[in-house]
Amino acid sequence: MPIYGRLPVAFERGEGAWLYSVGGEKYLDALCGVAVTTLGHSHPAIVAAIKAQAEKLLHVSNWFEIPEQIQLAEAISKICEMDSVFFCNSGAEANEAAIKIARLYGHNKNISNPAIVVTQDAFHGRTMATISAGGSRKNQAGFEPLLGGFKRLPYNDLEAVRQVANNSDDVVAVLVEPILGESGVLIPDQGYLVGLREICDQNEWLLMFDEVQTGMGRTGKWFACQHENVKPDVMTLAKALGAGVPIGACVANGPAVGVLKPGTHGSTFGGGPLASVVGKTVIETMHAEGAVERAAEIGEKLLSALTTQLGGNVLVSEIRGLGLMIAIELNVEISRLLQKILDRKLLVNVTGGGKIIRLLPPAIIGDAEIEQIVSTIATVLESHQA
Ligand SMILES: *Cc1c(COP(=O)(O)O)cnc(C)c1O
């Protein structure tokens, strides 16, 4: 179906930070399949884990014990210090599980029409519940009726959340991205997540973070909420957890543990042996290579190189980022911006109506790749001015 505006290039092989096109051309991947391949393409440890597990067992039903799933749950539980995990196959599905937990939690408190606070410009996926929770009118248009039970507030606005807390009895949870990803790397003020934690505690609401994009080391900590030392009650993961093999996880803690009872939710593929082994190998490999620390270091270097070399450009209005989630916001729309960057063999994302260049490079790049990213974008901007 003609859903995607596809770029005219096909890749047949990937290695580390590089992708090789069918025509044999080499591209630097500063997109990572949208925040998926944080360890680079075809990492030997991941490839070996896939091969070994494929030879043993690909699939069994969740009606049986799956030791690989338990091991992955334990590994996730350790890095986020949360108690229990449900596995599915994507970020949207992980958020669906979070939404169901919030509603059940509300009904358990005798709230018959439970509402979840969500934010403007949020992205939580493309299913009916997640486009309803999301803040993009474009993603919702034509798919009405939307799902009810969401209260939308401005992002980064604690006062608006406090007002809802004072004026309504039906709210049961808050679902937010710690940094808005699809909307162009919008980083809230320091204290936003702490403030949300306080309001949720005061009102016995579940605090739910969508860390599908920000999680798994992307921002230079395992999870973006750890920058503010805030622990949510529910956290959703996907993207980089599987390094390209589909997986999603909904992690619960405190009052969110045990809300989903036997028979209340499920997934055929979720937490299968192959995806579980891959997820576990991703976490082990990230530990072994210090990938989270490297994401922080490389991210700082890249952000400062961009700021030094592009900060003074008249077309650039802001350069911002945390770890390896970086955006260069322009004050003009450059036609075919993405294509022009692609022509110079660099993969990025352009969002925000064509004005925001979003960089999500892997945690394995060095100084040469950082310089290539910066100089490529500089060249494209200069050629526009000329
Ligand atoms: C990508 C993304 C999703 C959706 O994940 P899918 O695996 O595409 O369903 C949800 N939330 C956030 C913050 C994302 O970046």
pLDDT at residue 335, as a whole number: 86
- State the distance from the centre of ligand 1 to the C-alpha of 94, rounded, in angstroms: 9
136 and 247, same domain (yes or no): yes
User: 375 falls in which pLDDT band (50, 70, 90)?
Assistant: very high
Q: Which among 289, 310, 339 is the end of a domain?
A: 289
Which ligand 1 atom sits closest to the C-alpha of 246?
7
pLDDT digits 0-9 by tens, 248-291: 999 999 999 999 999 999 999 999 999 999 999 999 999 999 99
Specify the residue for token string 């529910």: 234
162 and 300, same domain (yes or no): no
Residue 343 burial by Cβ neighbours in a 10 Å radius (0-12, 13-18, 19+): exposed
Among candidate residues 321, 332, 334, the one with its CA nearest the CA of residue 374: 321
pLDDT digits 0-9 by tens, 4-38: 989 999 999 999 999 999 999 999 999 999 999 99
User: 353 falls in which pLDDT band (50, 70, 90)?
Assistant: confident
Q: Which among 289, 306, 327 is the end of a domain?
A: 289
What is the CA 366 to chain-centroid distance, rounded? 23
Q: What is the CATH number of the domain that holds 304?
A: 3.90.1150.10
User: 214 falls in which pLDDT band (50, 70, 90)?
Assistant: very high
Cross-strand bridge partners of residue 249:
87, 237
In a domain, 310, yes or no: yes
**Percent of the chain predicted with pLDDT > 70:** 100
Cross-strand bridge partners of residue 28:
18, 346
Mean pLDDT computed over 103-110: 98
Q: Give catalytic status of residue 169 as yes or no.
A: no
Among candidate residues 259, 276, 281, 270, the one with its CA nearest the CA of residue 49: 281
What is the CA 335 to chain-centroid distance, rounded? 27
In a domain, 1, yes or no: no
- Please state the domain count of the chain: 2
In a domain, 262, yes or no: yes
264 and 329, same domain (yes or no): no
* Type of residue numbered 67: P
Helices (H), the chain: 32-35, 44-56, 67-80, 91-108, 128-133, 137-140, 158-167, 192-203, 273-288, 291-310, 337-343, 367-385
60 and 165, same domain (yes or no): yes
Domain hosting 379: range is: 11-30+290-385
pLDDT digits 0-9 by tens, 297-331: 999 999 999 999 999 999 999 999 999 999 999 99
Q: Which among 233, 268, 289 is the end of a domain?
A: 289
In a domain, 191, yes or no: yes
- Ligand 1 pocket mutation, candidates 34, 176, 182, criterion most atoms within 8 A of CB: 182
User: 197 falls in which pLDDT band (50, 70, 90)?
Assistant: very high
pLDDT digits 0-9 by tens, 128-156: 999 999 999 999 999 999 999 999 999 99
240 and 355, same domain (yes or no): no
334 pLDDT exceeds 70? yes
367 and 228, same domain (yes or no): no
109 and 161, same domain (yes or no): yes
Mean pLDDT computed over 103-118: 98
As for ligand 1, residues whose beta carbon falls within 6 Å of it are 90-92, 95, 123-125, 177, 181-182, 210, 212-213, 238-239
For the chain, give the mean pLDDT.
97
Which ligand 1 atom sits closest to the C-alpha of 211?
13
In a domain, 37, yes or no: no
148 and 270, same domain (yes or no): yes
In a domain, 19, yes or no: yes
Among candidate residues 36, 20, 13, 32, the one with its CA nearest the CA of residue 282: 36
Cis geometry, peptide bond prior to residue 232 (ω within 30 degrees of 0) = no
Q: Give catalytic status of residue 239 as yes or no.
A: yes
pLDDT at residue 386, as a whole number: 65
Q: What is the CATH number of the domain that holds 116?
A: 3.40.640.10
In a domain, 5, yes or no: no
Fill in the DSSP letter of residue 224.
G
59 and 203, same domain (yes or no): yes
25 and 128, same domain (yes or no): no
384 pLDDT exceeds 90? no
d(CA 182, CA 188): 14
pLDDT at residue 266, as a whole number: 97
Q: Are 209 and 188 in contact (CB under 8 A)?
A: no
308 and 254, same domain (yes or no): no
In a domain, 4, yes or no: no
113 and 232, same domain (yes or no): yes
385 pLDDT exceeds 80? no
